[in-house]
A and B are shown apart, each in its own frame.
Chain A
Amino acid sequence: MIRVRGLKKRLGSKQVLNGVDLDVTTGETVVVMGRSGSGKSVLLRHIIGLMIPDEGSIEVEDQEIVGIRERELDEVRRRIGMLFQSAALFDSLTVGENVGLAMREHLRLGEDEIQRRVEERLQWVGLSGVEPMKPASLSGGMRKRVGLARALAMDPQYILYDEPTTGLDPIMADAIDQLIRALQKKLGVTSIVVTHDMTSAYKVADRMVMLYEGRIVFSGTPEETRTTKDPIVRQFVEGSSTGPIKPL
């Protein structure tokens, strides 16, 4: 379980997170909705310890991660996989080396076993035979899949998805959504998906929350999100420029 309480973060003059409270229960897929720049990615980066909050607490499996030592944080990170918005593949490494990097660094496994696991992870995301390729020669969708295979390398209990379908065509976006659902069923992982793509959000979510002005202002199932009368959520879901959310 991931428990976030009173999380605050100021970046420059902007209070990006202003007291975020969020619970993600084991096995659940929570979608965090919100406008671009609302702090969704900042929230994910706090959960995996890439940013330090100004205030608040984050617990992963009842272990507080704010203020702990780097070594202890690394132990927590090994239980979390993250798919970055840009996939963030290491350009100097091949696909196989990207997926196998964490295994080579952290596990005492033979090269044959690492190769087997790399192939297995790539098969999970629907890719085979791409191990020798460099990231530069992959399409956007393939890069996301390889990024996901890398996130799965250490058999994480949690997966954080930062805009998994941004920049993809609708067919590839749907394929990624199906993959997220399939992985949740197959591996039973707990997931947090940050997105402003509502089509994708409805497909993958068990629960949807809305981040607005630095706080979680709504939480409900996809059905509750569709039927809510909350004006902020309604405006966002309908994609309207008129309402309480002002265009920037």
Chain B
Amino acid sequence: MEDTLPLRGFRFVRARALDWVAEVGRVTLLLRDIARFMVPGLRSVGLLVQQMGTIGVGSLWLVVVVSLFTGAVAAVQAAYQFTAVVPMRYLGSVVLRSVIIELGPVLTGLVVGGRVGASIAAELGTMKVTEQIDALRALAIHPVRYLVVPRVVASIIMLPIMTIFSDAIAVFGGWVVAVTSIGISSHTYTQSIKDFFLIKDLLSGLVKAFFFGGIIGTMGCYYGFATEGGAEGVGAATTKAVMTSCVLVLISDYVLANVLFRFIFAK
């Protein structure tokens, strides 16, 4: 058959599609192994606590800075859009709800996804190319049980905790701006928060964070284990882990928003 431009294009698209399907298959197999080794993997509490510390403590200052300015910007922009339309006494509630439903979990997911996803992929990728993962298997220690389960579970536990922290800091950032530059009293801002706070808003954000944690941990481990070659391979794995984590966080945010607000928390 003549090698025309459309045919080459078709082959290229088909090859990429097959690569994508194969990748989804490999991630599914990793998820199966994570489920299989979940209970034995959690027996090593020390490894889990160590990973929780690495993920949580290591990301703390980044989350503080991002959340503080996110809350501040949310207050400034809400105030601008309220001008001559909505009374400023509702500013606190708008900052609160936009933060706990969307900005807190998503920005925490993206920030932690970038830092932790890269760190996990680089660490496991280096272990792969220096035969350390083979050495574990040679010692009859399954790498998914010893390396993956503690990292994925730590991510799942720490993301919601970091999100609560992020929510609080962001609301504080909004309060600072509201009181110091918009001219709303502290009482008005906090009263607005109290009046419009709904536990289901907080829960929806935490459910999202739970899934984001799973995505970040799994993608970091998957690309770490898939590393080939030397330093270049580790760099490529790190980049892929961060990109994929961030894209999947945003896609799953949309899916979860639909499921949570149209079905589970619809009323």
Contact = CB atoms under 8 A, between A and B. Distances in A.
B139 interface: yes
A30 B124 CA distance: 34
B135 A90 contact: yes
A100 to B, nearest CB: 11
B138 A80 contact: yes
B140 A84 contact: no
A50 B137 contact: yes
Contacts of B132: 88-91
Contacts of A102: 139-141
B140 to A, nearest CB: 4
Nearest to B50: A92
Interface in A44-95: 45, 48-50, 70, 74-75, 77-78, 80-82, 84-86, 88-92
Interface residues of A, number: 27
B185 interface: no
B131 A84 contact: yes
A103 to B, nearest CB: 10
Contacts of A130: none
A74 B137 CA distance: 8
Contacts of A82: 135, 138
Contacts of B123: 92
A101 interface: yes
A106 interface: yes
B201 interface: no
A174 B127 CA distance: 29
Interface string A163-174: 000000000000
A230 interface: no
Contact of B139 (A49, A91, A105): A105
A78 B135 contact: no
Interface in B119-136: 123, 126-127, 130-132, 134-136
Nearest to B137: A50
Nearest to A78: B140
Contacts of A90: 127, 132, 135-136
A77 B135 contact: no
B200 interface: no
Interface in A148-171: 150, 153-154
Contacts of B137: 49-50, 77
A81 B130 CA distance: 18
B115 interface: no
Nearest to B142: A70
A84 B134 contact: yes
B135 A48 contact: no
Interface in B197-254: none
Contacts of B136: 90
Contacts of A80: 138
A161 B52 CA distance: 37
Contacts of B134: 45, 50, 84, 88
5 contacts: A48-B138, A74-B140, A82-B138, A90-B132, A102-B141
Interface of A: 45, 48-50, 70, 74-75, 77-78, 80-82, 84-86, 88-92, 101-102, 105-106, 150, 153-154
Given A102-B140, A106-B140, 9 more contacts: A50-B137, A70-B142, A77-B138, A86-B131, A88-B131, A88-B135, A90-B136, A105-B139, A150-B139
